[in-house]
Amino acid sequence: MKKRMMRCASLTLVLVFLFVFAGGAAAAPKYQWRLACETIAGSIADLYAQEFARLLKEKSNGDIQLDIFHSGTLGTPTEMFELTLNGAVEFCLTGPSQSSSIVPENQIMGLQFLFSDDPIVNRDFFAQSKALNVMLNDIYREKGLSVLSYFTEGAMFWTANKAIRTPDDFKGVKIRVMPSELLVETYRAYGANPTPLSFTELYSGLQLNVVEGQENAPATIQEMKFMDVQKFLIGSRHNMYVMQHLVNVGFLDSLPEDVRKIVLDSVDEVRPYIHDVQEELNKTRLQMMIDDFKSGQEYYDLTHEEREAFKEIAKKADAKYFELSRNPEFAKELLETFRAEMAELESKRGK
């Protein structure tokens, strides 16, 4: 813990140096803010950050400058989150797992088959959900942060060396998972053999048969060339890779009302933009993979009925989520609200 605090203090000093140095190079804007992004330049999260910065500058007539710090610049994603929590950085873009030690209730996003297979339903859910934007955000605010928006980098697909259409097909399959008790519990419920493995070791793990399958969005699968060492690409859409746009509450509440409105209006405008960007990117990358398939490789989407079979078994992980949340009564209410809202939106779309 002491070592982590010293690390955060060092990163804060680096930020102060960068801020002063950048400010001295040209006439400083009235507001100069920082955003830490856990991914690299050119990623979906970076495109979100760039558009957010553009909108802030445009709406403030140049009075607001947002400096973006990408993966590795300010430490690990967890350290980026802590810098935002401590107020050394105003904003950050991270996955919920980076903040689950502070807000364990957010592990709801690790449950499978909560989201729709309809991207429009998911887009509207992120914008309108009381479960996420009110109930869960109230927990964040108690800790000193607020989630300005949730967005996705894409629906998760499975890849494997055998066809997987039913939970029974998963029996004994060594599937790579991130280090997560919730993911392990879910894949065990399917009968799989979940194997925690770092992302950097995943390609070689698939190549050497240390693991036999994995989950990621199409853009990531194509970029990392996982289909070079896999036979089946399965449009399961069993989860979404969710990113959260966090802001330090003390900073946000201290802003003049007109400036705070610029921030919130910019967030509202970037939501539909990033949805369309990630949809197009994942669609393009998916087609690129299919076009490059060799003999014996296959792509297919799970049917509604096949998804429902997985969905029922995935609910066995609910109890593990309640336990990990350290707030089981709230977690149960949050999950019930989440599912009810999703069902209502799907009903309106005729799903």
pLDDT in tens, 53-63: 999 999 999 99
The DSSP secondary structure of 68-97, one letter per residue, reads EE-TBTTBSHHHHHHHHHHTSSSEEEE-GG
Reply yes or no on whether the pLDDT at 12 is more than 60: no
- Answer yes or no: is pLDDT of 2 > 70: no
Whose tokens are 């709801």? That residue is 108
**DSSP-based three-state secondary structure for 244:** strand
Residue 350 — very low, low, confident or very high, per pLDDT cuts 50/70/90? confident
| Contact (CB, 8 A) for 244 and 81 | no
Token readout for 43 is 């990623």
pLDDT at 20: 47
Residues with Cβ < 8 Å from 176, sequence gap 6 or more? 195, 196, 197, 202, 205, 206, 211, 213, 214, 215
For residues 309 and 236, is the Cβ–Cβ distance under 8 A? Answer: no
Supply the pTM of this predicted model.
0.90
Predicted confidence at residue 14, as pLDDT, reads 53
The residue among 123 and 27 whose pLDDT is bigger is 123
Bridge partners of residue 298, in order along the sequence: 232
Interval 221-264: pLDDT, tens: 999 999 999 999 999 999 999 999 999 999 999 999 999 999 99
The per-residue pLDDT for 179 is: 85
CA of 83: how far to CAs of 49, 74, 80, in Å?
A: 17, 9, 5
Q: What is the C-alpha separation between 37 and 90, in angstroms, rounded?
A: 12
Distance of alpha carbon 77 from its chain centroid, rounded? 12
Q: Which of 86-90, 93-97, 148-152, 314-318 has the lowest mean pLDDT?
A: 93-97
Domains of the chain, CATH where assigned: 2-110+120-152+241-281 (3.40.190.170), 157-239+296-348 (3.40.190.170)
Residue-wise pLDDT tens digits, 326-345: 999 999 999 999 999 999 99
Residue 288 burial (CB count, 10 A): 13
Closest to 237 (Cα-Cα) out of 306, 191, 188: 306
> Closest Cα to residue 50, out of 29, 33, 66, 72?
66
For residue 17, is pLDDT > 60? no
Least-confidence region, from 94-103, 232-241, 269-278, 279-288: 94-103
Token look-up 């930020």 returns: 15
Strands 213-216 and 157-160: antiparallel
